[in-house]
Structure 1
């Protein structure tokens, strides 16, 4: 099967894949997933992300400090991130962002780490991979203050109005397993209406499994279910959706035309 699709957000480095990473990678390739973007969540995952990307063709690393893991971060990690981006290949800064859902996360501290990473993305000419849970308006404000910034808000769950504002700023929106759940009517309606050139597809594996894999470990090989659902909701063909979203990912992350590179 040709490698047509790109998983724009997958945590293929985490321990959940340690027992069978080789097999999972092969399954993804057999399913037509030719590339994955793998964002780190904290300083202690950067080496693992780098090593996984070096070992497996089509794996592209991003490095950042995730807001949910605020207790693992130190301000010195921002300086280390700048040094790391200066010497290691990366397709994006992230996963970074804001989370106003999880209790106990100091917002001011989140804002400090988030905006510093946005500035690093501008400095290095890289896109950002943004986590925005109950924080889309705040994220949009930060993005608007940096006109040269590009990136994706992954696992987007905001309104059409919020989506349009981000698209106007040149951001893309990532959608994954949640759109396969029939009860997610508002989200499913949103992805049926948005311009296809503003959409990326993702698994967020090992989290957020699609409807047919509820309760299981998610993995990149399940991306075709998301593509098929998106195509069905848009009255489009899976082939066209796979190609268009892969083209979007290549443009944003400056990925090579060949998924094996």
Structure 2
């Protein structure tokens, strides 16, 4: 399943060990189906250098610099300071700040998560970069922070699985909506209806590989080569020709990043 217009997987953890064996072949599987750019978000200080190296060695790969809420600890305040220092010493600059955000399902205290997210937004604003946002079960808290600390250079809420009302609130804050494998599940009515109604200029595509497996691929590691399946589902939901969607979303992605 290929697409003539290029595709941009705007959120893919392609540095994870599941892809490490014969990485060039893994990347080729994605590019052969039209995925011409892949953005890898950081999870924390432990993988910043790996992402920078992957980006340096592969023209198709871009990276983001940040601290995922799942991996925060008492040293994370120092990590944000280290993040700024690391940015200035990189030879291949990240194109976004993230993955950062809020996650009410992890053991890290939510108030501390909020503090670290605010710092990420401030860093992104200072550096003139967009933000890759993660949010699970903390939507109202996220909206409050976005109101208090506006994002100046755009961003994306990745892995969106909310309602149309929530999506529109995010668009009003200058964010785009990261659409992934959730829409391939017929039972995900709320999110499918939301995405069906959203304007095309508010959407990006992503896999979140190796997480968020698509319908019919449960139990398998997700892969950026499956991005065309998400595109096809989006085309079906919106009743818009696939190439039209692909071209518009490529423009959205390039404009943001």
* TM-score, L = length of structure 2: 0.94
Spell out structure 1 runs of 4+ moving beyond 6 A: none
* Cα offset, 1:145, TM superposition: 2.4
2:86 corresponds to which residue?
A: 84
1:6 and 2:8 are equivalent in the alignment: yes
Unpaired segments ≥5 residues, structure 2:
none
1:258 corresponds to which residue?
A: none
**Does the residue aligned with 1:167 lie in a helix, a strand or coil?**
helix
* Cα offset, 1:3, TM superposition: 5.8
* Cα offset, 1:72, TM superposition: 7.8
Contact kept? 1:33, 1:223, Cα under 8 Å: yes
Distance (Å, rounded) in 2 between the aligned partners of 1:137 and 1:181: 25
The aligned runs of 1:1-261 (5 Å cut-off) are 2=4, 4-71=6-73, 73-88=75-90, 89-102=93-106, 104-147=107-150, 148-253=152-257
Residues 207-216 or 115-124, more deviating: 207-216
Q: Give the CA RMSD over aligned residues.
A: 1.4
Contact kept? 1:129, 1:151, Cα under 8 Å: yes
* Cα offset, 1:73, TM superposition: 4.6
Distance (Å, rounded) in 2 between the aligned partners of 1:71 and 1:230: 38
Distance (Å, rounded) in 1 between the aligned partners of 2:147 and 2:115: 16
Contact kept? 1:43, 1:73, Cα under 8 Å: no
**Does the residue aligned with 2:99 lie in a helix, a strand or coil?**
strand
Change (3 A) 1:222 1:73: farther
Distance (Å, rounded) in 1 between the aligned partners of 2:98 and 2:76: 16
Distance (Å, rounded) in 1 between the aligned partners of 2:22 and 2:212: 19
* Cα offset, 1:212, TM superposition: 2.5
* TM-score, L = length of structure 1: 0.93
